[in-house]
Amino acid sequence: MNKKLYALALTPIIFIACANEAKQTEVIEQPAVTSQKAIPTQEVAVVAPKTVTTPTKSQASVTFIENKKILEKGMMHIDTFMGSMQPTLKGLLAQDSTHVTAMGACSSMAQSMIAEYNQQISGVKLRRTALRYRNPKNKPDKTDRMVMDEFVAKNSFKPLVVDTGDQYRVYKPLKVKQSCLICHGAINDMSKDIVKMIDRTYPKDKATGFELGEFRGVVVADMKK
């Protein structure tokens, strides 16, 4: 009789203990579920840097090379052309006190002289370009702009050679001389006749306001490989 009562007395105690163990088990398992939910957050953090680095791959660049043979060949053509053009311009400047004729020669005659030179030489093409150009035909491409930005940033007038993949380009930088200011200086310092001619011929002109010794532009020799 006592054993039965003892057993009956222990039954609710055992039941309560089991119930408490079950609750403790549920509390212990709870953090495990929380840690599993945190995993996707770590995966998102890893993906983020890829998005940041993508624009860098699309940035353009220029390949400058040091090749004495290519440099000398390009400079030979550039100097030959400039050597034939400069005496003509000096003669026109001396003949016309308004310098209008000389300006017309510089913009139009130079184009025809370059075209004639290119027809005589195979595998080489000369051209003029500038960041602030006057003639739309001399508008620079992306490579031209990056090379000229290099000249300006370093304040350098040393020729450079660029490898574009299918050809070499030799760039000769030009410095603003006193005679250049006649047509490319401050508008207030230029003659009214020249200003009128610029407005009439090149309404979108960007080539005024230069100062003595400033970077003016480049003569380029494009050479096929």
Q: What is the dihedral of CA 100, 105, 108, 110, to 10 degrees?
A: -150
Count H helices, E strands: the chain? 8, 5
Scan for tokens 């993508």, then name that residue.
54
Give the pLDDT band of residue 149 (cuts 50, 70, 90): very high
Whole-number pLDDT of residue 58 = 32
Least confident of 43-47, 86-90, 101-105, 169-173: 43-47
Q: What's the pTM? A: 0.71
Q: How far is CA 47 from the centre of its chain?
A: 29
- Going across the sheet that includes 64-65, the strands are 64-65, 160-163, 167-175, 215-224, 124-129
Query: How does residue 151 score in pLDDT terms, banded at 50, 70 and 90?
Result: very high
State yes or no: pLDDT of 208 exceeds 80. Answer: yes
pLDDT band at 178 (very low <50, low <70, confident <90, very high): very high
Q: Would you state the pLDDT for residue 78?
A: 97
Q: Is the Cβ–Cβ distance between 165 and 117 less than 8 Å?
A: no
65 pLDDT tier (thresholds 50, 70, 90): very high
Give the chain's largest Cα–Cα span: 143
Q: Which residue has the tokens 């230029």?
A: 190
User: Length of the chain in residues, anyone?
Assistant: 225
Average pLDDT, the chain: 78
User: According to the model, what pLDDT value does residue 23 have?
Assistant: 39
| Listed ranges 50-54, 93-97, 164-168; the one with the highest mean pLDDT | 164-168
Cβ–Cβ < 8 Å for 174, 218: yes
Residue 148 has pLDDT above 80, yes or no: yes
Q: Which residues contact 122 (CB under 8 A, 6 or more apart)?
A: none
* Nearest CA-CA partner of 218 in 159, 162, 164, 161: 159
Closest CA to 100 of 38, 190, 20: 190
Radius of gyration, alpha carbons of the chain:
39
- Note the pLDDT of residue 185: 95
CB 223 within 8 A of CB 163: no
In three-state secondary structure terms, 198 is helix
The mean pLDDT value for 180-189 works out to 93
- The yes-or-no verdict on residue 161 having pLDDT over 90 is yes
